[in-house]
């Protein structure tokens, strides 16, 4: 199956102390590569949990309602979770949305 989507992961909320993430952090992935020039933070503690969604989204697989982003809680923070939004971006539209 051809990879037709980029995957954007954004920290939308930090509900407790986290030494790695802050609200607004973004990761952009053209699976299997992280687009470093469009990524401002990468947490190795959260990424194993996110990687399944990255693989699915990059191939166009939906995990819920079509076109609705997925929200995922990081399991690595005990005091308060970090909430990530995982979204698909069609490769032909990547320059429109990504800044």
The predicted-structure confidence for 18-34, as pLDDT tens digits, reads as follows 888 999 999 999 999 99
Q: Which residues contact 62 (CB under 8 A, 6 or more apart)?
A: none
Indicate the average pLDDT of the chain: 85
Asked whether residue 33 is domain-assigned, the answer is yes
What does pTM read for this prediction?
Answer: 0.84
In total, how many domains does the chain have?
1
- Contact indicator for 12, 83 with CB cutoff of 8 Å: yes
Asked whether residue 40 is domain-assigned, the answer is yes
Q: Which is more confidently placed, 78 or 96?
A: 78
Mean pLDDT of 9-21: 90
Asked whether residue 13 is domain-assigned, the answer is yes
What are the C-alpha distances in Å from 81 to residues 8, 25, 77, 84? 19, 15, 5, 10
In 1-99, DSSP assigns E strands to 5-14, 26-30, 33-34, 70-73, 82-90
Tell me the two tokens of residue 91. 């490769």
Asked whether residue 78 is domain-assigned, the answer is yes
Asked whether residue 96 is domain-assigned, the answer is no
Structural domain harbouring 50? 5-91
- Contact indicator for 74, 86 with CB cutoff of 8 Å: no
Residue in 52, 97, 49 with CA at minimum distance from that of residue 75: 49
**Res. 78 pLDDT band, cuts 50 70 90:** low
Report the SS3 class of residue 77: coil
């Amino acid at each position: 199956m051809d990879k037709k989507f980029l995957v954007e992961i954004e920290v939308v909320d930090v509900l407790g102390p986290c030494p790695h993430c802050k609200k607004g952090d973004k990761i952009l992935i053209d699976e299997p590569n992280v687009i470093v020039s469009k990524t401002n933070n990468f947490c190795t503690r959260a990424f194993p949990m996110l990687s399944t969604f990255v693989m699915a989204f990059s191939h166009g697989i939906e995990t819920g309602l079509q076109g609705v982003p997925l929200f995922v809680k990081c399991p690595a923070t005990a005091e308060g979770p970090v909430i990530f939004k995982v979204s698909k971006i069609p490769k032909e539209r990547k320059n429109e949305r990504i800044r």
